[in-house]
A and B are shown apart, each in its own frame.
Chain A
Amino acid sequence: MITKAHSSEYPADTLLSVENLTLRFRGQSNDVVDDVSLRVRRGEVLCVVGESGCGKSVTAMALMGLLPVGSTRISSGLLKIEGESLCLVDTVVPATLRGNRIAMIFQEPMTSLNPSFTIGNQIAEAVLQHRGGSKAAACERSLEMLARVGIASPEKRLSEYPHQLSGGMRQRVMIAMALANDPQILIADEPTTALDVTIQAQILNLIRDLRDETGMGTIMITHDLGVVAEIADTVAVMYGGQVVEQGPAADIFADPQHPYTIGLMSSMPRLDRPGGRLSIVPGTVPTIAAMPKGCRFRTRCAFANEICGTRPSLCDVTPLHSVACHHAPLEAHIEVAV
């Protein structure tokens, strides 16, 4: 049963929220991120999930203020971090936030470290930039951070260059660098996609441990539903720059409502239900210019009809779980004859 959402419910331990973020790139006629609202609480991992081209990374970049100012237009968006508000329209996210209170790690640990400086140098730079103090203190801090992210013999690693480290270690260094200034929010953009499964498990464990230790909030962007199930407390499913379903991870997995969420879950090859054909999501994500009006998923949705020409808003399934689909719950509104 779907009821109206209560917007006044705003838990006190909310660490970061972004409200109604809408942005487009210069020369585009459609919004790349369309009215996205997300919220992370203390010690919580929010996973933003979706295929490539659905606006996950752009949303994260906008929060970090990393989008090129000249070619991006943010038409609405309010960032709240621990009660302080910052309107994202036509502003540059100040350095007191970026890298200091919000830190980010990227997908490719190979390309996001500078190959011509030592590990120690690069972590210390982040510390000096935001905290000042002496170089010796910054080096001390680098050493401490390397030890904390589980790098063996950190003294030795401090003076090594990125090419001397493996992919998993580089990602650990990125995490050390991101956390050197004790940020309240960590944004991780596909942090384990480039890594092998055994190393991925190690990195996810590390992020979880650090979260428990520091109480930081984490926004993790991923396309891997396995990773989501592993680490997420809450989930936002994005499609075509819009949030189509969000809620506690347990609810999303036990009671997925949006056809896109169901499609994503059905198209994962399973370890426990092998064989046969996989259900698929037909076609591919349209380009931003070719996004249909109304429900953006309707061109790939098996259940779409004329009502989908108007945009569905996020409606509550339960107070915490909401979905943007005219036909949810499917079993009450749809019949399929084979």
Chain B
Amino acid sequence: MSDVILEATSLVKHFGGSDSWFGKTPKVQAVDGVSLRVRRGETFAIVGESGCGKSTLARLLMRLLEPTSGAVMFEGKEVSSVSGDALKTLRRDMQFIFQDPFSSLNPRMSVGKLVGEPLEVHAPDMSAQHRRDKVAELLRKVGLRPEHAGRYPHEFSGGQRQRIGIARALASGPKLIIGDEPVSALDVSVQAQVINLMGDLSRDLGLTLVIIAHDLGVIRHMSDRVAVMYLGRIVEMGRTEEVFANPRHPYTQALLASIPSMDESDAARRPVVLGEMPSPSNPPSGCRFHTRCPHAQERCKEESPTLGSYEDGVACHFWETLAIDTPLPIPSPRSDATQARFELYRAATEGGTVTHKKPQPETATKQHREDHL
């Protein structure tokens, strides 16, 4: 499937910079010239540190914000020019999942009402009974029970609330869902449940997903292609596998090297990025990463490198000549017993039948300690 569902061209969004009573407000260049293409049916990820403009970009793609300049095309139609019924259709086809399941659901609406609301808007002719059935079906689809429809958001845990948010996004039958950090507020075990759910849904319903995240593990697991953002610009874009196996931009390399890994605790090998991200209201000249880049040269301060592509590329003057160390940790092999244990766990949680062997002689002597330490 190679047809393009969403395309952004030279998107720019600046905040502030206007005269107010208190003098001129600083101009923040949140997104500064982003071009990308998302293909139908794929999962596209946008990754970067806080303040890099990834959430602003997501909102621009959805037209929750108006761009300062540039254009977004959804299925070949200009997003920023539509209004009226066309805008309503657009909203039906593109849905958003928010990061915080605690503040994105109206506490005074029941779950049935929350999930049914998009149906009221987009399918006003639907009968009340039909709508209730549809809500029940949606709730089942995201792993909740139909009888949950009468309850209120505060009665649910974080993971369940995120499921409600997903059901709500699915209600209008969208083609594209944009998730802004959809799992980062959740505990790791619940996060895995929601990641599995989103993977299943995108496959079963043929959805296109755009996932914004800062967790590289989540991105590696979920996405087909990834764009790495730094200070309002995409510095590297490509197939997730290739970007992770062979990062070309020094920033991508640094990001990957900063991830704490479960397999290797040799900390000395880690080239840590120095310093912190400069303020987007006063970004560095030239390549915006040059203030933190270990390979920066004179040219980087003056000339801004470009990505030069909508789908694959790296915005660095020198990436071809940089020595690339593969920062991905090599997994340490598990012992047979440990591997067997992980496989048992997987089989059991995926519905295998568990049988308990008869106690063996050695465990009969197993004693519990009566004191501690």
Contact = CB atoms under 8 A, between A and B. Distances in A.
A273 B373 contact: no
Interface stretch (A62-70, A98-106, A122-130, A324-332): A324-332
Nearest to A224: B260
B216 interface: yes
Contact of B220 (A37, A271, A331): A271
Contacts, number: 250
B188 A223 contact: yes
Nearest to A255: B338
Given A197-B259, A277-B196, A269 B353 contact: no
Nearest to B257: A201
A271 B261 contact: yes
Given A19-B373, A229-B262, A271-B244, A280 B192 contact: yes
A268 B215 CA distance: 11
Given A37-B373, A229-B265, A254-B332, A282 B349 contact: yes
A208 B218 CA distance: 27
Interface stretch (A110-118, A180-188, A256-264): A256-264
A7 B262 contact: no
A128 B274 CA distance: 33
B345 A259 contact: yes
Given A254-B334, A254-B338, A274-B220, A39 B373 contact: yes
A277 B217 CA distance: 13
Nearest to A249: B265
B187 A52 contact: yes
B108 interface: no
Interface centre among B189, B330, B341, B351 (most CB of A within 10 A): B189
Interface in B146-185: 157, 159-160
Contacts of B159: 284
Contacts of A224: 188, 260
Contact of B189 (A249, A255, A280, A336): A280
B188 A225 contact: yes
Interface in B247-261: 254-261
Interface stretch (B62-70, B301-309, B359-367): B359-367
A221 to B, nearest CB: 14
B86 interface: no
B217 A271 contact: yes
Residues of A in contact with B, size category:
35 or more
A121 interface: no
A315 B366 contact: yes
Interface residues of B, number: 83
A72 interface: no
Given A7-B373, A200-B258, A230 B265 contact: yes
B276 A169 contact: yes
B341 A256 contact: yes
Contact of B50 (A196, A271, A281, A334): A196
B188 A267 contact: yes
A71 interface: no
Nearest to A17: B373
B188 A268 contact: yes
Contacts of A254: 332, 334-335, 338
A265 B262 contact: yes
Contacts of B342: 262, 265-266, 279
A335 B200 CA distance: 28
A20 B372 contact: yes
Given A267-B189, A330-B341, A2 B331 contact: no
B369 interface: yes
A313 B368 contact: yes
Of the candidates B217, B334, B369, the one having the most CB atoms from chain A within 10 angstroms of its own CB is: B369
Given A205-B267, A314-B369, A334-B357, A284 B157 contact: yes
A189 to B, nearest CB: 16
A4 B211 CA distance: 49
A231 to B, nearest CB: 8
A175 B307 CA distance: 40
B195 A269 contact: yes
Given A4-B369, A279-B346, A280-B196, A255 B337 contact: yes
B345 A230 contact: no
B82 interface: no
Given A269-B218, A332-B363, A315 B369 contact: yes
B260 A279 contact: no
B338 A256 contact: yes
A241 interface: no
Contacts of A35: 372
Nearest to A51: B187
Contacts of B195: 269, 278
A317 to B, nearest CB: 11
B263 interface: yes
A287 B150 CA distance: 22
B2 interface: no
A1 interface: yes
A219 interface: no
A5 B369 contact: yes
Interface of B: 49-50, 157, 159-160, 187-193, 195-196, 199-200, 214-218, 220-222, 240-241, 244, 254-265, 267, 270, 272-273, 276-277, 328-332, 334-335, 337-338, 340-342, 344-357, 359-360, 362-363, 366-373
21 contacts: A3-B367, A201-B272, A201-B273, A226-B260, A250-B265, A257-B341, A267-B191, A269-B192, A269-B221, A269-B222, A271-B256, A271-B328, A271-B329, A279-B349, A280-B189, A280-B192, A315-B366, A330-B341, A334-B354, A335-B354, A336-B355
Given A3-B367, A230-B261, A254-B334, 14 more contacts: A197-B214, A256-B338, A266-B345, A267-B188, A267-B189, A269-B195, A271-B217, A271-B259, A284-B190, A334-B355, A334-B356, A336-B347, A336-B352, A338-B350
Q: Which 6 pairs between the two chains have the least Cβ-Cβ distance? A: A226-B260, A267-B192, A302-B348, A269-B221, A281-B189, A230-B260
